[in-house]
Amino acid sequence: MTLAAGEYARLRFLLEIVEQEGRHLLGTTGRLFSGTIDAAWVERLAERPELAERVDAFAARFGRMQDTLGDKLVPELLRCLLETPGAALDNLNRAEKLGLLASVSDWLEARNLRNRLVHEYLRDPAEFAGALQRAAELVPLLVATYNAVNEFARVRFGSDAGQWPERLAVPS
């Protein structure tokens, strides 16, 4: 049994959403990490509201892209493959087996960083600076996963370029 072309509409929609989230995340990442981020930098955020807003934007965009990819896009891809999505960890393991996700353990770390990005700087500037830096290091994982799912969908469900969103440049 196969799905009709119109039944991939939600998958395309989610790919478009993640592509947009990714573009925003990449832009914010480039602007935020143009200098050194350490505990002293975090402590000065109260004096620099424009940077504090950029940190908030980065944290929100990082978490949103990670959530949409892992909690919506991967399960939808599995449905399009006529598989039954399972628990989040099962879905991530399946994505890794399909070659769409480089590392489930890095993905789980990215997921756990969301809470640290929201709460840590209120308590420990050094911890928050470390969490920010690690999240920036994991942005390429998110982008590469999006690109892999997008390419897989193009090949598997139809290569018409007008149907699928663009790839994102993976930051180095």
Q: What is the pTM of this model?
A: 0.91
Band of residue 66 on the pLDDT scale cut at 50, 70, 90: very high
* 99 φ, ψ (degrees, to nearest 5): 80, 20
The whole-number pLDDT of residue 162 equals: 64
Determine the Cα–Cα distance for residues 56 and 129; give it in Å rounded to an integer. 13
The whole-number pLDDT of residue 144 equals: 97
CATH of domain 7-159: 1.20.120
Which region among 55-59, 108-112, 113-117 has the lowest average model confidence (pLDDT)?
A: 113-117
pLDDT tens figures, 13-49: 999 999 999 999 999 999 999 889 999 999 999 899 9
> Domain coordinates of the chain in residue numbers?
7-159
Cβ–Cβ < 8 Å for 112, 35: no
